[in-house]
Amino acid sequence: MWRDARSRSADSDASGEFSDMPPDYPTCPNGQVAWTFEGLCDGAHTGRIVSMDTDTTVAPAAMNPASAPADADDTAVAGALRTITAELTSTVEALALTPEALESLARVVDDADRVFVLAAGRSGFALRMTAMRLMHLGRTVHVVGETTAPAIRPGDVLLTASGSGTTGGVLRSAEKARSAGARVAAVTATSGSPLTELADAAVVVPAAQKLDRSGAVSAQYAGGLFEQSVALLGDAIFHALWRRSGLTGDDLWPYHANLE
């Protein structure tokens, strides 16, 4: 069982590092394991890993601070596109190093009787895209707050997204879902947050929170990289579940809206 490198246990050596490092886990340029010291390599944000002694699985962030290509001019739209593409590529590669966390999230969603989605602001818009795709797959999906959304119950899952993991409305709903016997799946940019503590499965995206305007993790404004990652991750979960289902594109088409 992987534990935060800050908490020494029988699984770690005297330095607080684990003697049985998972294979293929990224290392720093000096060979130091990236998941020690909260994933800091000479001041670079390479990521962090938390594995809890519950069902919760949290993906490590394994990305160096995103930087624009050397020839990118962010004052030009083409240059901005290159910057955003470079950041998303780096983030996707980092997430791909955590297949267990990704599959855990997908499994919680796939096993649910019904899926409820909830996030605030732009993250909410991104998560609604996932809700639509899951509906196209034939799943029963509800957007929390809509007038037709019913009560959540055992067997359901609340799929949430919050960069900080502290968004008030999301946390209150997650607590309510757990008390009703439902499961919680979360996408966040902050490991060890209240949301990850509540979640049955959580993926931590190596992206800046919206209040981080330092540019150290992302050159984009506020939570842009996180919100884009939520949309991509949702599409990836849908795509994987679709391919596993054996359904064709023609099978899914009748689920598309015909009142437009």
Question: Which residues does the annotation mark as catalytic?
Answer: 227
| Distance (Å, whole) CA 246 – CA 143 | 26
| Distance (Å, whole) CA 198 – CA 203 | 13
State phi, psi for 184 to the nearest 5 degrees.
-130, 130
| Distance (Å, whole) CA 181 – CA 133 | 25
Residues 54 and 197: beta-carbon distance below 8 Å: no
Q: Which two tokens stand for residue 55?
A: 């069902």
Residues 16 and 5: beta-carbon distance below 8 Å: yes
Sign for the CA dihedral angle at 73, 76, 81, 84 comes to: positive
Within the chain, where are the H helices? 77-96, 99-111, 121-136, 168-179, 194-198, 224-245, 249-252
Residues 61 and 35: beta-carbon distance below 8 Å: no
Residues 85 and 230: beta-carbon distance below 8 Å: no
Which single residue is written with the structure tokens 């499994």?
107
